[in-house]
Amino acid sequence: MFQKTAASKEVILPDDALVRHAKQGPANFQPLYEAYFSRIYMFILYRVADKDTAGDLAQQTFLNAMLNIQNYEMRGVPFSSWLYRIALNQCNAYYRKAKRERTIVLEEKHMEDLVEELIDTESMDEWKQSLPRVLGELKAADLQIIELRFLDGRPFREVGEILGISENLAKVRTYRVLDRMKKMLTTI
């Protein structure tokens, strides 16, 4: 998936060539747009649960990315982490501006992964029923970490990159949120 150059320890990801090309001018941004639009759109759709709003926010994400591509630095993580960070910021701005409650789209597979992390399998069915309520009670920052890690399946390194924190801090925050969720679930 990625390679290291022989002369250095620089990591070259497959998208690096597309990013370099896009930095040459806005007309060269289309390959990145085409490569990532559907993933970014779905990422946003899971957070806003409205197709039109998701489309608008995805377009704004890519406009911001195109206008700021010169500021992007290759750091050995996928380019998509930078796009997800912009998309997450767009979602946060949407919720602040609209003063709406956050939407959580929780599919059965994601619910099972999260519940498995929280409990033993004996009481899984009863916990699945309580999980949406517990997620709804989380602070926005805590919910973002859970969404990125369990709903989107992002590795800790990408979670850290998207949120602008270190990989270790992403791990620590994730497990702290999980501990709080366990406590909330056991008081049911």
For residue 103 the two structure tokens come to: 């939407």
8 Å CB contact between 66 and 26: yes
Q: What's the pLDDT score for residue 105?
A: 62
Q: Do 145 and 176 lie in a common domain? A: yes
Choose one of 63, 98, 133: the last residue of a domain: 98
3 membership: H or E segment, kind and range: strand 3-4
Could you tell me which residues are beta bridge partners of residue 3?
A: 12
Instruction: Quote the CA–CA distance of 113 and 121 in Å, as a whole number.
Output: 11
For position 64, which CATH number holds?
1.10.1740.10
Give the domain range for residue 46.
Answer: 8-98
For residue 184 the two structure tokens come to: 């909330």
Q: Do 112 and 179 lie in a common domain? A: yes
Cα–chain-centroid distance for residue 127?
24
Q: 77-129: per-residue pLDDT in tens? A: 788 899 999 999 999 899 888 776 666 666 666 666 666 676 655 566 666 77
Q: 45-87: per-residue pLDDT in tens? A: 988 888 999 999 999 999 999 999 988 887 777 888 999 999 9
> 186, exposed or middle or buried, with CB in 10 Å at 0-12, 13-18, 19+?
exposed
Q: How many domains in the chain?
A: 2
- Comparing C-alpha atoms, which of 11, 69, 5 is closest to residue 36? 69
